[in-house]
Structure 1
Amino acid sequence: MRISSKGKYGLMIMIDLAHFGADKPVPLTQVAKRQDVSLNYLEQLAVKLKKAGLLKSIKGPGGGYVLGKEAKDITVYEMLQCLESDLLVANTDEKQGGIMRMLKSQLWDELDARNQEFLKGVTLADLEKEYPEEFSDEYLMYYI
Structure 2
Amino acid sequence: MSKSAAMPAESLVPFEVTLHVRDHCLCLHMQRAARALARLFDEALRPLGLTNQQFSLLMSLNRPEPPSIAPVASLLGMDRTTLTAALKPLERRGLVNVAPGEKDRRSRLLAITPEGIALLAEAVPIWRRTHDAVDSRLADPEPERLRQALRAMS
TMscore range, shorter length? 0.3 to 0.5
Larger radius of gyration: 2
Select the structure that is richer in helix.
2
TM-score by length of 1: 0.44
User: Which structure is higher in RCO with an 8 Å CA cutoff and minimum separation 6?
Assistant: 1
